[in-house]
Structure 1
Amino acid sequence: MKARFTWLCLLPLLLAAAVAQAQIQTNPVQADDTQINVVQGPQVKGEIFEYSTGGETYQGYLARNVSDKTPRPAVLVVHEWWGLNDYARTRADQLAALGFVALAVDMYGQGQVATHPDEAGAFSRQVMQDWPAARARLEAAMTKLSEHPAVADTGMAAIGYCFGGGIVMNMALSGMPIEAAISFHGSPTQAVKNPQPFEGIVQIHNGAEDPLVKREALMGMARALEAQGAEVKVVNYPGATHGFTSPESGEAAAEFGLPLGYDAAADAASWQAALLALDEALND
Structure 2
Amino acid sequence: MEKFQKVIHERIIHHEHTGTKLESVLVLPQGTGPFPTILLIHEYTGLNEPTLEHARRLSRAGYAVFAADFYGPDNRPQNVDEANKFHRVFRDDRLLMRERAKAFFEALIAQQEVDITRIAGLGFSFGGGAVLELARCVDQGNINSESALIGAISVYGYLDTTHPAERGRIKAEVITIHVENDPVVPEKHAEMFTNEMDEAEVEWSMIRFNNVQHGFANPDNPEFDSNRAEEAWDIILKALKEWF
Q: Shorter chain as normaliser: what TM range?
A: 0.7 to 0.9
Match of 1:112 among 75, 83, 89: 75
Q: For the pair shown, which has the larger CA radius of gyration, 1 or 2?
A: 1
Are residues 112 and 213 of structure 1, via their aligned partners in 2, closer, same or farther at CA, if it must alter by over 3 Å? same
Decide whether the 8 Å contact of 1:245 with 1:267 is kept in 2: yes
| Cα distance in 2 for residues equivalent to 1:106 and 1:191 | 23
| Residue 194 (structure 1) shift | 5.8
User: 2:121 touches 2:152 (CA, 8 Å); kept in 1?
Assistant: yes
Task: Work out the CA distance in 1 between the residues paired with 2:37 and 2:98.
Answer: 18
User: Aligned residue for 2:38?
Assistant: 75
TM-score (norm 2): 0.86
What letter matches 1:249 in structure 2? N
Q: Rate the CA distance shift 1:170–1:139 in 2: closer, same or farther, 3 A.
A: closer
Q: CA 1:226–1:171 in structure 2 vs 1: closer, same or farther (change >3 Å)?
A: farther
How far does the alpha carbon of each residue in 1:207-245 deviate from its partner, in whole angstroms, 9 at most, with x for none? 224332211111211321232222221111121111010
**Post-superposition offset of 1:180:** 1.0
Is contact 1:50-1:58 (8 Å) kept?
yes
Distance 2:93 2:72 in 1: 14
Map 1:1-284 to 2 at 5 A: 41-65=5-29, 67-110=30-73, 112-176=75-139, 177-192=148-163, 195=166, 197-250=169-222, 261-281=223-243, 283=244
SS at match of 1:179: strand
Give the conservation status (yes or no) of the 8 Å contact 2:160–2:192: no
Query: What is the rounded CA distance, in whole Å, between the counterparts of 1:273 and 1:194 in structure 2?
Result: 25
Unaligned stretches of 5+ residues in structure 1 = 1-39, 251-260
- SS of corresponding position for 2:6: coil
Conserved? CA contact 1:71–1:152, under 8 Å: yes
Indicate how the Cα distance of structure 1 residues 229 and 216 shifts in structure 2: closer, same or farther if over 3 A, else same.
Answer: same
**CA–CA distance in 1 between the matches of 2:101 and 2:138?**
13
RMSD, aligned CA: 2.0
Contact 2:101 2:131 in 1 (8 A): no
- 8 A Cα contact 1:170 1:191, kept in partner: no
Give the distance between the partners of 2:117 and 2:156, measured in 1 at CA: 28
Native 8 Å contact 2:7 2:56 kept in 1: no
Letter in 2 for 1:274: I
Q: In 2, Cα distance between the equivalents of 1:222 and 1:112?
A: 34
Instruction: Give the whole-Å Cα distance in 2 for the aligned partners of 1:129 and 1:209.
Output: 22
In structure 1, distance between residues paired with 2:76 and 2:221: 16
Indicate conservation of the 8 Å contact 1:43/1:97, yes or no: yes
**SS at the partner of 2:170?**
coil
Deviation at 1:48, TM superposition (A): 1.3
CA distance in 1 between counterparts of 2:166 and 2:46 reads: 26
Gaps of at least 5 residues in structure 2 are: 140-147
Given the superposition, is the C-alpha separation of residues 194 and 201 from structure 1 closer, same or farther in structure 2, using an over 3 Å criterion?
closer
Deviation per residue, 1:23-70 (Å, 9 max, x gap)? xxxxxxxxxxxxxxxxx94234222111122222211111011x3013
> What is the alpha-carbon distance in structure 1 between the residues aligned to residue 242 and residue 78 of structure 2?
37
TM-score normalised to the size of structure 1? 0.75
Find the aligned partners of 1:226 and 1:188 in 2 and give their Cα distance: 14
Percent identity over paired residues: 25
Q: Go from structure 1 to structure 2 and tell me whether the alpha carbon gap of 1:222 and 1:45 turns closer, same or farther (over 3 Å shift).
A: farther
Residue correspondences, number: 232
Larger % of helix: which? Answer: 1
Structure number with greater CO (CA < 8 Å, separation at least 6) is 2
Q: CA deviation at 1:111?
A: 5.9
